[in-house]
Copies of this chain bind each other. A is one copy, B any other.
Amino acid sequence: MVDDRKLAVLRAIVEDYVSTNEPVGSKALAERHNLGVSPATIRNDMAVLEEQGYIAQPHTSAGRVPTDKGYRLFVDRLSQVKPLSGAERRAIESFLAGAVDIDDVVTRTVRLLAQLTRQVAVVQYPTLTSSTVRHVELVPLTERRLMFVLITNTGRVEQRVVELPEVVDEGRVAHLRATLNACLDGRGLGSVPDLVADLPERLPVEDRPLAATVLSVLLESLVERQDEKIVFAGTANLAGADFSVGLREVLEALEEQVVLMRLLGETSDLSALTVRIGSENPYTGLQGTSIVAAGYGSGDKQLARLGVLGPTRMDYPVTMGAVRAVARYVSQILAAS
């Protein structure tokens, strides 16, 4: 009974603080929530909660504010993900349905998510390594140069210009193209390095330099894209909010692909809805912020992650609901195409 009420108090503090952005005191709590006890009792509970590190007061004689630990407890045990309204769902669906290609899907998704949560949205492009090769194309540009294009089953296209070591005629290019496609078509990108390892040896000697050059570009493009592209939107939503640390640091972090990558991706379970709160964050520039992220992908395979970044003081149930919903809808869209 006792502990139960303390948790209720913590929940009330989090909810009030999130909605008002002001430290919340015992009196206000007693009024706004019917906890059935007097302010004095609440004060006692708050003293305990503070001692345990769930809340803190900015100054003596100010109300209490949840700590990161407090938010953590709230997210883990005191809240439920809030589903979106029907109208919101329909809006999402129709907005995403209009996408024409993978770029468009990602762009629309990130904007949608930013608008929905009124925070900064971050979307990782689907990882190549878990998709498969649909087609490899070699297009001669000049005598000693060709365009290498790799198309995956997720609709993603990688292209590179390859400088050739020697003049090569159409026929040899066509042959290499056929060989490559026969070898790679439908295979997972992760297995490509193994598959092409002994390929030059299976070719006539005179074709080997050509093949080696093309393959090195192919492998390079795979490696390079493994830490994938990430896009974000909604930075304008940062303007109002105040973080413990400056706005500048947050914007800088957002432009660092690597940092973003780690924020979204450092989870073994790609599909889970993960929340990282304030100081749980590995990156110093993002102390005052929380990240809510989820995996998405077509079918059972999780291809990549998406999420939002906002002030620690955010409405976690709503945000988590939005992120989860968008992740699901994107997965649907990808599965359908």
Known: A147-B151, A233-B255, A239-B246. A139 touches B137 (CB 8 A): yes
* B151→A135 contact, CB < 8 A: no
Place the interface of chain A in its size category.
20 to 34
* Chain B hits for A254, CB < 8 A: 235
Bound complex: CA of A157 vs CA of B149, how far in Å?
9
* A159→B157 contact, CB < 8 A: yes
Q: Decide yes or no whether A31 CB sits under 8 A from chain B.
A: no
* Chain B hits for A88, CB < 8 A: none
Smallest Cβ-Cβ distance to A238: which chain B residue? B251
Smallest Cβ-Cβ distance to A147: which chain B residue? B151
Q: Shortest beta-carbon distance, A140 to chain B, in Å?
A: 9
Bound complex: CA of A254 vs CA of B337, how far in Å?
31
Bound complex: CA of A101 vs CA of B162, how far in Å?
10
* A247→B255 contact, CB < 8 A: no
Taking a contact as CB atoms closer than 8 A, the residue among B134, B137, B239 that contacts A247 in the complex is B239
Which residues of A in the span 121-157 have a Cβ within 8 Å of any Cβ on B?
134-135, 137, 139, 141, 147, 149, 151, 155, 157
Q: Decide yes or no whether A116 CB sits under 8 A from chain B.
A: no
